[in-house]
């Protein structure tokens, strides 16, 4: 029996109350139509609850990262904060203003750390191969207290001029505005997920991204094309890289069966203000499923060096569900279960 999950939490500006926490580990984010996220406590692969995610035509109503983009999002976040994570209202209000409320919460992997992740997904054979959707993604946590003036000089809390700049300047998507016009100031801001599992252009793919700039440049575009890109051949710009760690044609991805992904990540260790990689990352991914009564194990990504991460103070957190890209309205519906995360 499927039960709609109706509550949503804005991770950046809200704490989660007990009624919004799902299975003692998740909160729901994004659009809130009843069909978008549902939970079943009777279909229990591996003894754990399963979650149904659905996006229909016309659901791309949220603004994307770039102007004019329209996306759809209905996801579960492993990272969130509760009121117990804040000692007083001042620290909470500061975090809310900077959109960093979740930084004080659970589910965060630190910079340069190692993690093992596992989860299952069930893709019905009826799903349209034209779908363009991310079903699992790892997000960075931009250092939103990092500012730069028009000359590129950095400002942090406690520096002369920092508090005055925060009060005077309105920052939208990392760009500073005064009187409604850009003034040359920038603030550290998010971007594309540091790692994503999804479907696009008739492929299943795993994509890893890296940004070594201390204060990310939102105008520096770097995103490997799923169809045109070559596996393990990164696309690079000045500070960023994007690589297809794996891609499989749609008809090669198992359908109507639970598929388990086991992912080991050594996140890159970055050099902060030096805009460098102090230690490269590593990635390994295994896919498992049952076929004709036997277990099939496929190594999608052999353990290898990988630039994956962001040059931030804080680290990364996991989300799963349905994030449909701009420009695609193909309906999607599938199921996810069994998430685990362990440090090494």
Q: What is the CATH number of the domain that holds 311?
A: 2.60.120.200
What's the confidence (pLDDT) of residue 192?
86
Q: Indicate whether 156 and 89 sit together in one domain.
A: no
Query: Who has greater pLDDT, 42 or 66?
Result: 42
> Mean pLDDT score of the chain, rounded to an integer?
94
| Residues across the chain | 344
Q: What is the DSSP letter of 267?
A: P
**Which pLDDT band holds residue 243 (cuts at 50, 70, 90)?**
very high
What's the confidence (pLDDT) of residue 120?
98
Q: What is the mean pLDDT of residues 208-231?
A: 95
Helix (H) or strand (E) holding 243: strand 240-249
What's the confidence (pLDDT) of residue 35?
97
User: How many folded domains does the chain comprise?
Assistant: 2
Query: Who has greater pLDDT, 48 or 264?
Result: 264
Q: Indicate whether 124 and 158 sit together in one domain.
A: no
Phi, psi angle pair for 226, to nearest 5°: -65, -45
Choose one of 161, 187, 213: the last residue of a domain. Answer: 187
Cβ–Cβ < 8 Å for 329, 55: no
Q: Indicate whether 71 and 157 sit together in one domain.
A: no
Q: Indicate whether 152 and 107 sit together in one domain.
A: no
Q: Indicate whether 303 and 170 sit together in one domain.
A: no
Q: Indicate whether 159 and 135 sit together in one domain.
A: no
Opening angle at CA 197, ends 195 and 201, nearest 5: 120
Q: What is the pTM of this model?
A: 0.95
Neighbours of 257 (CB within 10 A): 14
Q: Indicate whether 286 and 166 sit together in one domain.
A: no
What's the confidence (pLDDT) of residue 313?
92
What's the confidence (pLDDT) of residue 42?
86
What's the confidence (pLDDT) of residue 66?
75
Q: What is the distance between the alpha carbons of residues 17 and 7, in angstroms, rounded to a whole number?
A: 10
* Structural domain boundaries, residue 154: 147-187
What's the confidence (pLDDT) of residue 1?
78
Q: What is the mean pLDDT of residues 69-80?
A: 96
Q: Indicate whether 236 and 305 sit together in one domain.
A: yes
Give residue-wise pLDDT tens across range 8-24. 999 999 999 999 999 99
What's the confidence (pLDDT) of residue 344?
64
Choose one of 156, 187, 218: the last residue of a domain. Answer: 187
What's the confidence (pLDDT) of residue 317?
98
Q: What is the mean pLDDT of residues 271-277?
A: 94
Give residue-wise pLDDT tens across range 135-155. 999 999 999 889 999 998 999
Q: Indicate whether 92 and 199 sit together in one domain.
A: yes
Choose one of 187, 218, 250: the last residue of a domain. Answer: 187
Give residue-wise pLDDT tens across range 85-125. 999 999 999 999 889 999 999 999 999 999 999 999 999 99
**Which pLDDT band holds residue 162 (cuts at 50, 70, 90)?**
confident
Q: Does the pLDDT value for residue 2 go beyond 80?
A: yes
Q: Indicate whether 239 and 96 sit together in one domain.
A: yes
What's the confidence (pLDDT) of residue 189?
86
The two structure tokens encoding residue 318: 């996991």
Cβ–Cβ < 8 Å for 116, 267: no
Q: What is the DSSP letter of 90?
A: H
Q: Indicate whether 251 and 305 sit together in one domain.
A: yes
Give residue-wise pLDDT tens across range 279-322. 999 999 999 999 999 999 999 999 999 999 999 999 999 999 99
Q: Which of 163-177, 187-201, 274-288, 289-303 has the lowest mean pLDDT?
A: 163-177
Cβ–Cβ < 8 Å for 215, 276: no
Q: Indicate whether 116 and 253 sit together in one domain.
A: yes
> Rounded to the nearest 10 degrees, how much is the dihedral formed by the CA atoms of 341, 15, 49, 36?
-120
**Which pLDDT band holds residue 31 (cuts at 50, 70, 90)?**
very high
């Amino acid at each position: 029996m499927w039960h709609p999950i109706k509550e949503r939490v804005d991770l950046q500006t809200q704490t989660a109350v007990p009624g919004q926490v799902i299975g003692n580990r998740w909160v729901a984010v994004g659009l809130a139509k009843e069909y978008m996220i549902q939970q079943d406590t009777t279909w229990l692969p591996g003894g754990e609850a399963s979650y149904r995610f659905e996006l229909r035509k016309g659901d791309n109503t949220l603004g994307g990262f770039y102007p004019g983009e329209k996306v759809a999002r209905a996801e579960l976040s492993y990272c969130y904060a509760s009121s117990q994570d804040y000692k007083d209202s001042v620290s909470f209000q500061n975090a809310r203003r900077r959109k960093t409320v979740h930084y004080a919460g659970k589910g965060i992997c630190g910079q340069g750390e190692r993690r093992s992740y596992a989860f299952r997904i069930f893709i019905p054979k009826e799903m349209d191969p034209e779908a363009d959707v991310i079903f699992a993604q790892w997000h960075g946590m931009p250092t939103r207290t990092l500012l730069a003036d028009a000359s590129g000089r950095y400002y942090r809390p406690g520096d002369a001029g920092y508090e005055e700049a925060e009060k005077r300047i309105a920052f939208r998507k990392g760009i500073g505005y005064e009187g409604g016009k850009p003034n040359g100031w920038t603030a550290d801001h998010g971007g594309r997920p540091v790692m994503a599992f999804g479907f696009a252009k008739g492929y299943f793919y795993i994509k890893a991204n890296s940004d070594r700039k201390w204060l990310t440049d939102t105008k520096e575009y770097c995103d490997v094309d799923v169809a045109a890109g070559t596996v393990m051949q990164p696309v690079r710009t000045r500070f960023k890289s994007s690589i297809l760690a794996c891609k499989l044609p749609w008809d090669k991805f198992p359908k109507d069966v639970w598929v388990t992904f086991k992912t080991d990540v050594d996140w890159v260790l970055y050099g902060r203000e030096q805009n460098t990689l102090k230690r490269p990352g590593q990635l390994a991914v295994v896919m498992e499923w049952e076929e004709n009564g036997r277990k099939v194990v496929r190594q999608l990504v052999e353990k290898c060096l990988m630039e994956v991460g962001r040059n931030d103070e804080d680290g990364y957190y996991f989300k799963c569900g349905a994030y449909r890209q701009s420009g695609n309205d193909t309906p999607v519906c599938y199921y996810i279960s069994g998430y685990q995360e362990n440090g090494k």
